[in-house]
Amino acid sequence: MPVKQIVTITDNSNTHATVDELMDKLTEDCSGLATTVDMVESCTADGTLVSTTELSEEGNVVTVTRMWNDECWTNFSALEGVDASVFADAGWTVVSEDSPALPGLTTRQDDTFGQ
């Protein structure tokens, strides 16, 4: 079953103009992310991971929403992660939540709801 992951990344000391700027600063400040970044890039390139990103109006928080296929998620979740203290020591907060994506469950927007 596919897995939906939501990662919230907060730079506690800086603001950024773009998602790429914030993510570049994160990888610069926090050692040990290369394997994780490589896995995300590989899965994205082969189509087993789809993700979207959104930068907060304040420019210090990025929300990453990822949809992983089963095999890619299994491989990704087996990676040794970076300890939260590495992020905290560098002035970052990273929170990740994941949940199974329910097949057949869809949402819709009804623009005329309540009219």
pLDDT of 19: 97
- Residue 100 has what pLDDT? 83
CATH topology of domain 3-100: Alpha-Beta Plaits (3.30.70)
| Bridge partners (DSSP) listed for residue 5 | 66, 98
- DSSP code per residue over 56-113: -TTSSEEEEEEEE-HHHHHHHHTSPPPPHHHHHHTTEEEEEEEEEPPTT------TTT
Distance CA 66, CA 2 (A): 10
Q: What is the mean pLDDT of residues 72-94?
A: 92
Measured from the Cβ of residue 53, the count of other Cβ atoms closer than 10 Å reads 16
Q: Which residue has the higher pLDDT, 72 or 114?
A: 72
* pTM of the complete model: 0.83
Q: Which pLDDT band, with edges at 50, 70 and 90, does 103 fall under? A: low
Query: Please, what is the average pLDDT of the chain?
Result: 88
Does position 26 have pLDDT exceeding 70, yes or no?
A: yes
State the Cα–Cα distance between residues 51 and 108, nearest whole angstrom: 19
| φ/ψ of residue 75, rounded to 5 | -65, -40
Cα–Cα distance measured from residue 53 to residue 48, given in angstroms and rounded to the nearest whole number: 17
Residue 111: its pLDDT value, please? 52
Torsions phi, psi of 45, nearest 5? -65, -35
